[in-house]
Every structure is written in structure tokens, then in C-alpha cells.
Amino acid sequence: MEKKEARIRCSGCGTSYKLKIPVTDKPVSFKCKKCGKVLKLQIKSIPPAEVPASEASSQAPAPSAYEAPSPTEFETTQLPDEVDFQDAAAAALVRQATFVESHQFASAADAAGQPEEKGRRWLVLSADLIKGPFTDSEIVLMIQDREIVAGTSLRLGDRPWIQAAEIGQFRDLFGVHEPARGKPGADSLSLLDEADLESKAVDPVGPRFYQQLSSVLSYPIGRGKPIAPAIFFGIALTLSTALSLDFLVGLALNVIGWVLLYGYLAGVMKESTESPNNPPPSWNFSGAKEMGASGVRVLAVLTVYGLLPVGICLVLMIAFFLNSMLVPGYVFIALTVLVFAISMFLVPAALVILGTSHRIGVALNPSRIMAVVKRGGQPYRMLAAFSVAIGLACMTATIAAVLLTDIPGAGFVMAGIVMALVLSYAHFLWFHVLGRFSTENRLLMSQVLVAA
């Protein structure tokens, strides 16, 4: 069966593909590897007699890099999503839905010829929800508030979805410049593979989280909504106080309690990924089961790449000191600090993979973690440095709490308050930054997940 090369764009997430589709009167299905949406496509041969002379003359120029060859001989159509598709409906579909060029789309938007505020015409695809319609100025404000990022899909009227950074009138707001037209960028239209992962770089999307530290550091109590952090602090205070009073009982309670807390923090990360400027999400205790499942996944990642190696070093250090082996004991003190720093360098990569994929197996895959670490560049190094600082702050608070328990009377209470305050604030900052990193590096994360 004859096949014809065509370029299509997923109507769900806007991802472009270059495919060879059989020339047949029957529709073929193709599943988007990014969002999983099933697209129905069709290429039909068109007899030369059916092509009007006026159309033939208008199509005389050589085809561009985004067009399928010989447009007078073949017609490619992306069919509607209905399950009970009827071939007879194909004739009514417009050819515009087949080949979507970012530069042509942007030009069409700029040349609309209507006043900016005349009507609401933009739809926004965010977290699998379609929002809108919005005016041009409202889209600009949403970009400035980071509710829309470079990878967010927008739609103008009935046109196909396209990423915000590819639209001419919004491109400059992300700091993304229009690529040169001399050479076609075939890589951007091809399916991603391991070779792509090694060669592609992270797209710039404007200010990074470490360039906006004032908004990051004020996030836990941002916009005057301290209720969610207060609930977190109350739970952390109960757990840390129990740990101070009785280590064995407190340890069991802390495992259960932190599963719940990490489940909530997974929600903080998700909210920060979708809407970085929103305050912390409200607690939903009615969804405790789902929250617990998320918390188990997060705690598993932290245990494998953090608590387990550091815990082994601590146990050996204590054993050497108890047996009066001072030199090995001091060596393991240094080794514990080193292992802790290395774990806090790797754990963020595992957590952002977990937050993006929701698959514990992928998050624990060393090759995927190293892909994020190596290809994350400066943004990931800053994320790792931020994570190490968070970890050191939590470790310092824990040591201080141990010392505070020796204070007569109120020592246990003071120790619990110090631990709860530092751990609450630090974890809110950490998971907020993890979410923002995922948003600011969507291309990197999508490449890692495609390879997985």
C-alpha cells in the first residue's frame, strides 16, 4: 500500500509529528505519545480533474518545509474525535486542520484585522481543562502572572492548538525569538528518541525561580492565606513533639504523619506546576486516601535516594564511636555529610520526574534521573543548591531540637516548635520550587518521559 509523508499536530496538546500515512479511503488511528490522545487521520488521492484551474495556479509556488509534497495529488485530513466516524463527513472537513505552521498561525493572528478588545477569542488548555475564551490583553496579563507559560497550548477560534511561545504576538513575552526561516527545523516535527534527548537543550521561558526569590521565599504565606501552612505546622508540631517525648513511639507516628504531609506537598508541587503564582492549595482531608498514596510515592523516593544511604552512614558512625573507634567515627561523620549532599543533589530530579509522570518506577530509574541532572544545566544546578540548603536547614533544626530537650520544663515543647516551624516552611519552599522547575523546563521533562 502506498504511503505518503505528512506533518500533523495533535489537537490535544499541540505536539507536532512527521508521519508516513497509508493513502486510503479508510481512516487510520495514531496515538499521541505525549498526551495519549488518539487522532484519526486520512490521506486520499485526488484526481487531477477535480482540482480547479484557479487552485492549481494558486498552488504553483514550491511547497514550503511544512507542506506535504504534491498538494494537487493528495489531501490529508485530521478527522474529528467521534468514535462512530462516517467517511461521508470527510468531504466537509477543511484542509486547514491538517498542516499547522507556527509562523503561519502567528501571522494569521497578527493579521486578524479586528480590534484587540472586540471579542474573546483565545482558549487556554491547562491541566487537561479548556479555559476561556480570553481577549488578547487578558492573555498578556496571564503570561505576566505566569498562569500561562511558554509550553501552554492556546487556540484562536477554531484553529488548532499551538504553544504560546510560538505565537508571534506573545513570543517576546517569554524571551523566545522567532527562529530563522532559512533552514527548516525538522527536529521539532519528528518523534523524539534517545538521539534527540542527547542533542536538544532546555528552552528559555523567561525568569527562572532563582531569579524571583522574593516571590519564592514569601510563597508559604503569600496573598495573606496562612491557613494551609498553619494546618501543616500543627501536624508537624504534633509529630515532632511525639518524637521528642518517646523516640520509638514517635518514629512510628512520624512515618504515618509524614506520609500524609508529603501527600499534601505533592499537591503543592502540582499547583505550583500549573499556577506558580497561586497561594498554597487548601487541604482536602476528604481525599485522604489519594493524599496518602501520593505521600507513599514521595516518601519512597526520599527513602531510596536520601534516608537509606544517609541512615546507613549514621548507624556506622554511631557504632564506631560506641566502640571507641574515634578515627573511623570522624571519617564517617564527613562521609555522612558528603552522602547527604549527594542525595540532596539527586533527589530533586527524582521528585520532579515523579510529579510529572506519577510513576514511581520512572522516578526511581537512575538513567532518567541522570538525564535530568546532566541536561538540566544551570536551572537544575540552582535547584540542587536550593535543595541542599533546605536539607541543611532541616538537619540543623533537628540537631537544635535534640539540644533543646535538655532545657528543664519546656524543653520538649520548644524542641517541637523549632522543628515544626523550620520543617514546615522549608518543605513548602522546596515543593513549590520543584513545581516551578517542572513548569520552567517542560521540554526537558517531556523528553525524559518520552524516553522512559
Domain boundary (81, 112, 139) is at: 81
User: Does 202 reside within a domain?
Assistant: no
Residues 250 and 383 in one domain: yes
- What is the 3-class SS of the chain, one letter each residue? CCEEEEEEECCCCCCEEEEEEEECCCCEEEECCCCCCEEEEEEEECCHHHCCHHHHHHCCCCCCCCCCCCCCCEEEEEECCCCCCCHHHHHHCCHHHCCCCHHHHHHHHHCCCCCCCCCCCEEEEECCEEEEEECHHHHHHHHHCCCCCCCCEEEECCCCCEEHHHCHHHHHHHCCCCCCCCCCCHHHHCCCCHHHHHHCCCCCCCCCHHHCHHHHHCHHHHHHCCHHHHHHHHHHHHHHHHHHHCHHHHHHHHHHHHHHHHHHHHHHHHHHHHCCCCCCCCCCHHHHHHHHHHHHHHHHHHHHHHHHHHHHHHHHHHHHHHCCCHHHHHHHHHHHHHHHHHHHHHHHHHHHHHHHHCCHHHHCCHHHHHHHHHHCHHHHHHHHHHHHHHHHHHHHHHHHHHHHCCCCCCHHHHHHHHHHHHHHHHHHHHHHHHHHHHHHCHHHHHHHHHHC
Residues 167 and 304 in one domain: no
CA distance 437 to 380: 8
Residues 308 and 420 in one domain: yes
CATH of residue 114: 3.30.1490
Task: Note the pLDDT of residue 389.
Answer: 92
Residues 266 and 313 in one domain: yes
Residues 18 and 152 in one domain: no
User: Does 363 reside within a domain?
Assistant: yes
pLDDT tens figures, 306-334: 889 988 998 999 999 999 899 988 998 99
User: Does 398 reside within a domain?
Assistant: yes
Determine if the pTM surpasses 0.75.
Answer: no
Residues 367 and 275 in one domain: yes
Instruction: Using DSSP, state whether 132 is helix, strand or coil.
Output: strand
> Which positions of the chain have pLDDT values less than 50?
46, 48-117, 176-205, 452
Residues 226 and 362 in one domain: yes
Residues 33 and 72 in one domain: yes
User: Does 173 reside within a domain?
Assistant: yes
**Number of domains comprising the chain:** 3
Domain boundary (81, 115, 133) is at: 81
CA distance 2 to 20: 9
Residues 261 and 375 in one domain: yes
* Domain extent at residue 11: 3-81
User: Does 86 reside within a domain?
Assistant: no
Task: Note the pLDDT of residue 178.
Answer: 40
User: Does 91 reside within a domain?
Assistant: no
User: Does 33 reside within a domain?
Assistant: yes
Residues 147 and 7 in one domain: no
Residues 298 and 423 in one domain: yes
CA distance 308 to 253: 19
Residues 369 and 229 in one domain: yes
Instruction: Using DSSP, state whether 376 is helix, strand or coil.
Output: coil
